[in-house]
Copies of this chain bind each other. A is one copy, B any other.
Amino acid sequence: MEKNFWLTSEPIEINDVISKVVRPEAGAINTFIGTVREFTKDKRTLYLEYQAYVPMAEKKLQEIAEEIEVKWKDTKTAIAHRTGRLEISEVAVAIAVSTPHRKDAFEASRYAIERIKEIVPIWKKEHWEDGALWIGDQKETKSYKEQLPTKEE
């Protein structure tokens, strides 16, 4: 079965994501790519690490696509998210949404990245020059000092 929502420890090929949503009914494809940024204000990131509960994360990505199908007419969505260690400028997440007309493609793609950060169980560890921290949730409103939260949390 074709998999349109997946986590991978290998580099994400953007074309693999886009090609899943190309279709004759679509005139617009919006793609959002999240890459590893080196500087946040003056703080320099050396690399990132992502960990995920993979089956749950893939299920949640699919749920987001189903939400999009309800909110916008005639969409097709594909999403890939990296796990493991990522260097600067590497692709952390790639979203592609195809629609007949462009307005919907932009809106749905934006919705997808916001929802990923809200509901998909993926944790990010930032490695800086002077230390490292697990970011508690993808909206970055809390953090964990030493380790991943337990499943019970």
Q: How many copies does the complex hold?
A: 2
> Does B35 contact A32, Cβ atoms closer than 8 Å?
no
- CB-CB under 8 A from A106, the residues of chain B are 32, 106, 109-110
A29 within 8 A of B: yes
26 contacts between A and B (CB under 8 A): A14-B14, A14-B15, A14-B31, A22-B35, A24-B37, A24-B38, A24-B39, A25-B37, A25-B38, A27-B34, A27-B35, A27-B36, A28-B34, A28-B35, A29-B35, A30-B30, A30-B31, A30-B109, A31-B32, A31-B33, A32-B102, A32-B105, A34-B102, A102-B113, A106-B106, A106-B110
**Could you mark each residue 34-48 of chain A with 1 if its beta carbon is under 8 Å from any beta carbon of chain B, else 0?**
111111000000000
> Does B89 contact A22, Cβ atoms closer than 8 Å?
yes
Q: Identify A33's interface contact among B25, B29, B35, B100, CB under 8 A.
A: B29
A18 within 8 A of B: yes
Which label, helix, strand, loop or mixed, suits the secondary structure of the A interface? mixed
A88 within 8 A of B: yes
- CB-CB under 8 A from A109, the residues of chain B are 30, 106
Q: Which residues of A contact B (CB under 8 A)?
A: 14-15, 18, 22-39, 88-89, 98, 100, 102, 105-106, 109-110, 113
Assuming A24-B88, A29-B33, A106-B110, what are 10 further A-B pairs, CB within 8 angstroms? A14-B18, A14-B31, A15-B15, A24-B37, A24-B39, A26-B37, A28-B34, A30-B33, A32-B102, A106-B106
